[in-house]
Amino acid sequence: MKIFSSNTCYVPKDLSAITDIQHEVSAEEGGMTVKQVETIWRSVEDLYKTGNSPLISLCLRRQGQIILNRSLGYAQGNTLDGLSNNAQIANVDTPVCLFSASKMITAMLIHLLDESGEINLLDPVSHYIPEYAQNGKYRATIFHLLSHRGGIPRVETEVTPDLLFDKEKILQELYASKPLAPAGNQLAYHAVTAGYILGEIIERVTGQDIRQFLHEKIEKPMGMQYFNYGLKPEFRHLVSQNVSTGLHPTLGTDLYLNRVLGGGLQMAVDVTNDHRFMDTICPAGNIYTSAEQANRFFEMLLNGGNYQGQQILSPQTVFRATLPTSKTTIDHSLLVPMRYALGPMLGSNPVGIFGPMTGQAFGHLGFSNVLCWADPERDISVSFLTTGKSVVGTHLAATAKVLYRIARECPKIEKDQRRSLFGTHHLETDPV
């Protein structure tokens, strides 16, 4: 990596040559104008021109219709060293790692078990995993883990690629770990830890590999070709390559990421490009899928758990999963104000992680510029996937502009004209 540069990728002059567009309907069918759609896409192109991401893939549904389904850039071969001779242009079906946006899917699998009565979110984790009770963790509940108040935001040992490839070893570390704070006492983002414990609960309760459980409950009924932990070998030649772009101050980016993830920027990027990571299960961070398939999942939630007539989750479950667990509070891991539900991150007013005036939005951020969310007030579901892992860089203002444009060009819909998103319930909470 070029430490003293902006660390950007090659950007061709003609972006249309590296753009793929598929399965879009007219703007009017989603209650929008052509100008509104073009304005959003121009902001995405402006972001791409900063050179901070080899690939940007965007899918946006409004009123249940695919208004934007586009990829821009390269799946492989565009790195900080320039464009290789065998660079591969991406398309809308290119698999991308969701990173931490995977947490949202794992959380909804937990809610699915709660819906069927197989677990109770207020039960202690140790009720399902007796080994977890060590060192004072016997009072920690599933609710605590979903709301990032479990007291185990980090793995105590050094996080290395070999550790992340060994799920059983991580679990043993977590069983023996001592909480940094009593469960429920402190909001601190659990970057990878809670995911492993939640995944283990699913496996012990169902007797199934979590990968198979996800396939049977969501991937297969929703017609997803790949929407799962890791990626099957037959799709790996298509997978997008992540690149550690952006400014890279050792005492800034790496210090922060070591606090949150337990490892630096380059380590996180190298892990997700390694086929061993595609073999393993990381419930908090290694679902690989396309933008449209990720968007399909969030559209299902926005539609009260229903996808094309199939009730994947009940409206009541979606309602409960997306209720705020607290007001906007400083997160002791991320060191920024955050608002969480039981799995999802929540938007805020006047501005939040999903853009301005998104107090009813729910979704998740993925390292570092992956954003997937649904906004009932605007009747939109959005998946915004990038493969440039800039944390600090020239992309920041342009990324904020994309979120601003989506919020502005998809105006809020009057309450009496919105879909009944949550059955008899509506996500009408007090957005702080």
Distances (CA, A) of 90 to 186, 231, 295: 42, 17, 18
The CATH class that applies to domain 15-97+229-417 reads: alpha beta
pLDDT of 1 > 50? The answer is no
Q: Which helix (H) or strand (E) holds 60?
A: strand 55-62
Sequence-distant (6+) residues with CB within 8 A of 252 are: 392
Question: Helix (H, G, I), strand (E, B), or coil: what is residue 314?
Answer: coil
Question: Helix (H, G, I), strand (E, B), or coil: what is residue 246?
Answer: coil
In this prediction the pTM is 0.94
Do 15-97+229-417 and 103-219 share a fold? Answer: yes
pLDDT tens figures, 393-417? 889 999 999 999 999 999 999 888 8
Sequential DSSP letters for 136-170: GGGG-BHHHHHTT-SS--S-SS---HHHHT-HHHH
Instruction: Retrieve residue 101's tokens.
Output: 């946006």
What confidence score (pLDDT) does residue 260 get? 52
Tell me the pLDDT band of 422, cut-offs 50, 70 and 90: low
pLDDT of 265 > 80? The answer is no
CATH of range 103-219; options 3.30.1330.10, 3.40.50.10140, 3.40.710.10, 3.30.70.20: 3.40.710.10
Residues in the chain: 432
Q: Which residues pair with 60 in a beta bridge?
A: 68, 382
Q: Which helix (H) or strand (E) holds 319?
A: helix 315-321
Sequential DSSP letters for 325-377: SSSSEE-TTT-SEE-B-SSSEE--SSEETTEET-TT-EEEEETTTEEEEEETT
pLDDT tens figures, 344-361? 999 999 999 999 999 999
What is the C-alpha to C-alpha distance for residues 314 and 169, in angstroms, rounded to an integer? 35
What is the rounded average pLDDT of the residues 84-93?
97
Sequence-distant (6+) residues with CB within 8 A of 322 are: 301, 341, 342, 344, 346, 362, 427
**Domain definitions of the chain by residue range:** 15-97+229-417, 103-219
What confidence score (pLDDT) does residue 257 get? 55
- Identify the residue whose tokens are 């799709």: 235
Residues 295 and 60 sit within 8 Å (Cβ to Cβ)? yes
